[in-house]
């Protein structure tokens, strides 16, 4: 049953994803309540009510959900007990079961494998001996990834062969992890699917993404990919949403290898950095789509898309000798700036630029030019081969 404007939506997490989703909720006429450890978090400026508490505080989760018609999450590290308390008060969408599935990399990969979705070669490890066994069975270059708590490439260590396995396992803290074979990537892409409780499902065009040191730097929507790669990825994501009975958004990150294989990297049941461009590119943004989906309203159109590229702005830009030239970038027609109201720190996402153009290639060219206006040093660091 539809939750109509005038009701209040609760957000577990008040970072930039919560902030942008809260703005969409406001535009549609909903009230906004936020739980975040930081009372001055990015979403606080948009909220009617902010509960300042940690993500394992059950009483605080209960307090957030009180007075909310529906609760959602924009961050993955919410303790299961806190999720359960919120879910006892109001519908929690997407389901806590789905969040718990993705909170642990090993659990997530096991599920993907069991369900017959394609995942790259990997093995689980809980001790130095298991790390060595994983390296022996996989062979070649590896990436050890902690099962819990990693983001933006944190909690990961590389290993060249079995001689380095124990060192890499120690580097991520000797915690339970998965070892993945390092893949030779032709491209990275992502798919975002929205599904509402009534069952209606809509997908956004596929995004093509470029990461550096584990952090997303550039993304373009629609991403140009050869053959049926994009269609295959979309049908995998659609099947997942249906299998999971999704209520909300599910982002699926994919690797496409030089050998022509398409693998699922990981899932995120929330708005996703690679779909920020939907705000300029699509008739409905990912944030509005989230609100519609969790409120069981008709989903918005996702096409036609106007090609739009994104470049992430990291805190480093503001810590350099001269500040970024924001007016210089905004002078370019088709360029937009989003800042999240976050304190700049090295490697921290502070905002993004969007650039709209006639084609995806032209949008990438324009976003590179905008980045160069902002800071020539940053533009020089953008991944080659965009
Ligand atoms: N097995 C692999 N082979 C090649 N590259 C990889 C592999 N695993 C990760 N990467 C690279 O590192 C990036 C980040 O990896 P991953 O998505 O696992 O990390 P994360 O910390 O969960 O990131 P986020 O949560 O920000 O998406 C990938 O997008 C890709 O560029
Ligand atoms: Mg990732």
- Residue spans of the domains in the chain: they are 8-92, 121-181, 185-380
pLDDT of residue 152: 84
Q: Within 10 Å of residue 343's Cβ, how many Cβ atoms? A: 10
CATH 3.30.1490.20 holds for 121-181: yes
- Look at residue 331 in the predicted model and tell me its pLDDT: 98
Are domains 121-181 and 185-380 of this chain identical in fold?
no
Atom of ligand 1 nearest to the CA of 185: 4
Which is the closest atom of ligand 1 to the Cα of 150?
Answer: 21
Q: Quick one: which atom of ligand 1 is closest to the CA of 181?
A: 1
Q: What pLDDT is stored for residue 129 in this prediction?
A: 96
> Ligand 2 (ion): which residues have CB within 5 A?
253
Residue 144's CB is within 10 A of a number of other CB atoms, namely 26
Q: What is the pLDDT of residue 381?
A: 87
Q: Would you state the pLDDT for residue 151?
A: 84
Long-range contacts of 152-159 (CB under 8 A, 24+ apart): 152/214, 152/215, 152/216, 152/347, 152/349, 153/211, 153/213, 153/214, 153/215, 154/214, 156/214, 158/182, 159/135
**If you take atom 11 of ligand 1, which residue's CA is the nearest one?**
214
Which residue positions in the chain have pLDDT lower than 50? none
Closest CA to 155 of 117, 195, 103, 209: 103
- What residues have CB less than 8 Å from 361, skipping those under 6 apart? 224
Instruction: Please give the pLDDT value at position 141.
Output: 97
Distance (Å) from CA 108 to ligand 1 centroid:
15
CATH code for the part of the protein at 185-380: 3.30.470.20
pTM of the model: 0.97
pLDDT score, position 386: 77
Q: Which residues line ligand 1 (CB under 6 A)?
A: 120, 143, 145, 150-154, 180, 182-183, 185, 188, 211, 214, 253, 265-266
Maximum Cα interatomic distance, the chain, rounded to a whole number of Å? 60
Smallest CA-to-CA distance from 237 within 248, 250, 226 is with 250
The CATH label, of 3.20.20.370, 3.30.9.10, 1.10.1610.10, 3.40.50.20, for the domain at 8-92 is 3.40.50.20
Q: What is the pLDDT of residue 383?
A: 82
pLDDT digits (tens, 9 = 90+) for 159-181: 998 999 999 999 999 999 999 99
Closest residue CA from atom 9 of ligand 1? 214
């Amino acid at each position: 049953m539809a939750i109509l404007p005038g009701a209040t939506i609760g957000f577990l997490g008040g970072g930039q994803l919560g902030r942008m989703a809260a703005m969409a909720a406001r535009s549609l006429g909903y009230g906004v309540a936020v739980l975040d450890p930081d009372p001055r978090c990015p979403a606080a400026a948009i909220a009617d009510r902010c509960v300042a508490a940690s993500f394992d505080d059950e009483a605080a989760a209960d307090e957030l959900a009180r007075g909310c018609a529906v609760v959602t999450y924009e961050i993955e590290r919410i303790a299961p007990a806190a999720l359960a308390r919120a879910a006892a008060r109001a519908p929690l969408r997407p389901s806590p079961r789905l969040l718990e599935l993705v909170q642990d990399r090993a659990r997530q990969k096991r599920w993907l494998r069991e369900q017959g979705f394609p995942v790259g070669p990997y093995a689980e490890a809980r001790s130095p001996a298991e790390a060595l066994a994983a390296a022996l069975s996989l062979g070649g270059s590896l990436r050890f990834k902690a099962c819990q708590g990693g983001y933006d490439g944190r909690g990961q260590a590389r290993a060249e062969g079995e001689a380095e396995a124990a060192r890499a396992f120690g580097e991520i803290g000797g915690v339970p992890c998965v070892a993945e074979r390092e893949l030779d990537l032709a491209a990275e892409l992502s798919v975002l699917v929205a599904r509402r409780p009534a069952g209606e499902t809509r997908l956004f065009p596929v995004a093509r993404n470029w990461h550096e040191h584990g952090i997303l730097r550039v993304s373009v929507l629609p991403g140009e990919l050869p053959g049926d790669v994009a269609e295959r990825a979309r049908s995998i994501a659609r099947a997942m949403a249906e299998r999971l009975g999704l209520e909300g958004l599910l982002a699926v990150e994919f690797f496409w290898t030089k050998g022509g294989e398409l693998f699922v990297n990981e899932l995120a049941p929330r708005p996703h950095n690679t779909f920020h461009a939907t705000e300029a590119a699509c008739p409905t943004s990912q944030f509005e789509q989230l609100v519609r989906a969790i409120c069981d309203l008709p989903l918005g159109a996702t096409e036609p898309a106007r090609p739009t590229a994104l470049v992430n702005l990291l805190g480093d830009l503001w810590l350099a000798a001269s500040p970024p030239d924001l007016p210089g970038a905004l002078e370019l027609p088709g360029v937009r700036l989003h800042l999240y109201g976050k304190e700049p720190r090295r490697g921290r996402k502070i905002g993004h630029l969007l650039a709209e153009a006639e084609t995806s290639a032209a949008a990438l060219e324009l976003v590179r030019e905008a980045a160069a206006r902002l800071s020539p040093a940053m533009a020089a660091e953008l991944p080659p081969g965009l």
